[in-house]
């Protein structure tokens, strides 16, 4: 049974195996990002804090890219999904962050939600082989991360960016929360 908190986030299981625990925390942090970005218009998703250029819209687009990168490109050695496949990343390394200002809230949420759905499908396909399943795309140094490493990294990625999302959301409308 999944317990959902007052913000609509699924609580990670308190007594589960390693895979269910990691996936539970990843889904919790994904839902935290959705909560922090919920109900905002274009202006809200473009708001910055202090001297940072980071926006909630940029976070959604960046994390859509990160989902695609780790769970498709690295885990399965697939080509990047659209729109990431058409980007000259060398010329525009911050494209995901910068181009978010050109997108509507619906486009940003759709891109992120689609990437998360593809990631969940990808993980389900390899999880039966265990968390030690190596990715198909090695790093430039020849090392190959395991599914376990990728999941832990994604929990870290969302955790870090959810801290950014807290600050940005509070600056928009004063809403706070973990």
Q: What is the pLDDT of residue 55?
A: 98
Q: What is the pLDDT of residue 2?
A: 85
Mean pLDDT value of segment 143-152: 98
pTM of the model: 0.95
**Residue 169 CB coordination number (10 Å):** 23
Residues 86-141: tens digit of each pLDDT: 999 999 999 999 999 999 999 999 999 999 999 999 999 999 999 999 999 999 99
pLDDT at 155 over 80: yes
Q: How confident is the model at residue 30 (pLDDT cuts 50, 70, 90)?
A: very high
Averaged pLDDT of the chain: 96
Mean pLDDT value of segment 15-42: 97
**Quick check: 56 and 36 in contact, CB under 8 A?**
yes
Q: What is the pLDDT of residue 68?
A: 98
3 state SS for 126-163: HHCCCCCCECCCCCCCCCCCEHHHHHHHHHHHHHHHHH
Q: What percent of the chain has pLDDT over 90?
A: 96
**Quick check: 85 and 72 in contact, CB under 8 A?**
no
Q: How confident is the model at residue 178 (pLDDT cuts 50, 70, 90)?
A: confident
């Amino acid at each position: 049974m999944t317990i959902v908190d007052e913000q609509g986030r699924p609580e990670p299981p308190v007594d589960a195996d390693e895979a269910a625990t990691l996936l539970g925390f990843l889904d919790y942090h994904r839902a935290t990002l959705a909560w922090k970005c919920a109900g905002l218009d274009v202006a809200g998703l473009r708001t910055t804090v202090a001297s940072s250029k980071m926006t909630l819209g940029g976070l959604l687009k960046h994390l859509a890219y990160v989902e695609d990168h780790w769970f498709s490109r690295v885990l399965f050695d697939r080509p990047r999904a659209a729109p990431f496949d058409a980007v000259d990343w060398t010329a525009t390394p911050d494209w995901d962050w910068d181009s978010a200002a050109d997108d509507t809230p619906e486009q940003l949420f759709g891109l992120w939600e689609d990437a998360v759905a593809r990631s969940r499908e990808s993980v389900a396909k390899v999880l039966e082989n265990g968390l030690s399943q190596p990715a198909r795309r090695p790093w430039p140094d020849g090392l190959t991360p395991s599914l376990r490493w990728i999941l832990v990294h994604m929990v870290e990625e969302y955790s870090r960016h959810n801290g950014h999302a807290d600050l940005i959301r509070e600056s928009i409308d004063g809403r706070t929360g973990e």
